[in-house]
Structure 1
Amino acid sequence: MRDLRAWLVTVAARTSYNVLKSARVRRESYVGPWLPEPLLTGPDAAAAVLMDESVSTALLVVMETLTPAERVALVLHDVFDVPFGRIAGVLGSTPAAGRKLASRARARVAAVQERPRVSRAETERVLKAFKAAADAGDIAELVQLLDPGAVHVADGGGKVTAARRPVRGAETIALLAVRQIEIRRPDTFQIVEVNGSPALATFCGDVLVWLDTVEIADGRITTWRRLANPEKLGHI
């Protein structure tokens, strides 16, 4: 049975490796920043989801920056306890190279997992305050809610209007948030749970137009991610 498990893991890993390499090629032609598709995990989810940090938006974003080889080496060794000799066979490399790939990937993942966790209540509070300030056009309040070095990342996928490069700085992001409200004029919003954390879903009529997630430190937003690509929002 152990040999069968090892064979299945190896076959799945080789297939995944090929898929990842193909996806990476497609991603290189993607318009603007890429964000992972949201996974609805709260009480409104159609099916129960086993939640842990492995599906957090921040971690999924970091995983996407890994090369296919780094991701396969990390998952095979750290999750399935596959020896580097066998990993080398999957990747067509050497055990030493596989060990180095896993080590690099592990360090980047650890940097995300070591960030202080913010409570659900605090995240909801900041999201609602940010939404209220943007709706009111209150630039000063938005700047107070944003870390001076905050970054805004938007994924429109070339389907809708969205910043095609990360936007940095509290004042610049505040102005952008107000401008987007003035242009789109959404009418309703709802707090939902996505990837294990509160997110702000904004609607125009019955159409979900934005899904915002944030990272917070010391009560201020350090990263604001806006998913606007309709192809990624259709299942929410």
Structure 2
Amino acid sequence: MPPAEGGRLADEWARHRPAVFGAAYRITGSVADAEDIVQDTWLRAANASVDDVRDLRAWLVTVAARRAYDVLGSAHARRVDYVGPWLPEPLLTGPDAAEPVLVDDTLGTAMLLVMEELSPPERVAFVLYRAFDVPYDRIAEVLGKTPAACRQLVSRARRKVAAAAPPPAGADGARVLAAFRAAYERRDEAALLGLLDPDAAYTTDGGGRVFAARKIIRGAVRVATALLRTAVRHDFRATPVEVNGGPGLLIHRDGRLTAVDTLEIADGRVVAYRRVLNPAKLGGGGFAGTR
């Protein structure tokens, strides 16, 4: 929804929208929910007097976070009945992204999965403090807690994230992605095995709507076999892109986008390969119309 002409909000909305979307997406892990929250935030702001708000960006982010906090509870309830492994809805970033996206270490697929293990208050507090520098007193307003309690939430979340979050791919990321893509497209099992960590894990999210493994596949040989089994269809193509701030592949079959993959890379090898197949998660995130 475009902002109306005139006023501070109309002048600044486009500049702050990526932060509003970014906060909602990091908290919910859903592009669709984040877009709804962006619209809710705009409506709330359009019906409020914001001309005297000292820090409009922080105000908008906290409004979005409060709504995302409400959504997060129902989202967790939906995931209890989700068929097979659940993965965050992928988001196209980098030069291919249709809209600007704020990218940092809290946006990666692996980090979003780590944040799924946090309690909803921990996740909201961590995202606001870590990604958006929102002070504890403002976080307290979102969560209905004291600033001291929010400080403890952030501290606990930091410890949990530090214990589970993967290291960044580093300079090897682009090289490994290019080599992996080439080996995958030519169905070279030996090359794939050389690029996969011996304990690599392969996760597929079909949501019960398309065929996908119901459990995580572990071990380089089993992962390579599973990947190659899916590469035999006519006109298979893997396109390298940046997804959630890291290395990814768009998988097209017969000219149609059928999967968005993200690769977790460490020490020059792929340690986790995650594939979103659920059609409901491929229509947003900037992937519509990709070739």
TM-score computed with the length of structure 1 as normaliser: 0.82
Retained in 1: the 8 A contact 2:247–2:262? Answer: yes
2:97 to 36, 45, 61: 45
CA contact (8 A) 1:201 1:208 kept: yes
SS in 2 for 1:53: coil
What is the aligned partner in structure 2 of residue 122 from structure 1?
175
Question: Corresponding residue for 2:38?
Answer: none
What is the one-letter code of the residue matched to 1:176? A
In the alignment, what sits opposite 1:202? Answer: 251
Q: Is the 8 A contact 1:127 1:200 kept in 2?
A: no
* Pair 1:35 & 2:69 matched: no
Highest RCO, 1 vs 2 (Cα 8 Å, sep ≥ 6): 1
Question: Does residue 174 in structure 1 map to residue 224 in structure 2?
Answer: yes
Flag the 1:123–1:112 CA change in 2: closer, same or farther, 3 A: farther
Pair 4,51 (structure 1): closer, same or farther in 2 beyond 3 Å: closer
Correspondence 1:66 to 2:115? no
Residue 163 of structure 1 aligns with which residue? Answer: 213
Per the alignment, in what secondary structure is the counterpart of residue 181 of structure 1?
coil
Give the deviation of 1:168 after TM superposition: 0.9
2:137 to 58, 83, 90: 83
- One of 256, 262, 265 as aligned partner of 1:216: 265
Deviation string 1:37-86 (CA, Å, 9 cap, x unpaired) is 222223332223333223222222222222212112223444311239x7
Tell me by how many angstroms 1:160 deviates. Answer: 0.8
1:229 to 265, 278, 281: 278
The one-letter code of the counterpart of 2:134 is F
Q: One-letter code of the match for 2:240?
A: I
Residue pairs, 1:102-117, within 5 angstroms = 102-111=154-163, 115-117=167-169
- Partners of 1:77 and 1:83 within 8 A in 2: no
| Contact 1:187–1:205, Cα closer than 8 Å, also in 2 | yes
Structure 2 residues without counterparts, runs of 5 or longer: 1-52
Assess, with a 3 A threshold, how the Cα gap between structure 1 residues 170 and 95 changes in structure 2: closer, same or farther. Answer: same
Percent identity, please. Answer: 51
Question: Does the aligned pair in 2 maintain the 1:159–1:230 contact within 8 Å?
Answer: yes
Deviations 1:142-195 (CA, angstroms, capped at 9, x unpaired): 22221111111111111111111111111111121122223x445223112222
Q: Please list every run of 5 or more consecutive structure 1 residues that lacks an aligned counterpart in the other structure.
A: none
Match of 1:131 in 2: 184
Letter in 2 for 1:234: G
Between 1:43-52 and 1:31-40, the stretch displaced more is: 43-52
- Offset at residue 4 of structure 1 (A): 9.1
The two structures have a TM-score, normalised by structure 2, of: 0.68
Question: How is 1:14-25 mapped onto 2 (pairs within 5 angstroms)?
Answer: 14-25=66-77
Number of positions where the alignment pairs a residue of Structure 1 with one of Structure 2: 230
- Mapped partners of 1:221, 1:2: distance in 2: 46
User: Is the Cα contact below 8 Å between 1:215 and 1:223 reproduced in 2?
Assistant: yes
Offset at 1:198? 2.9
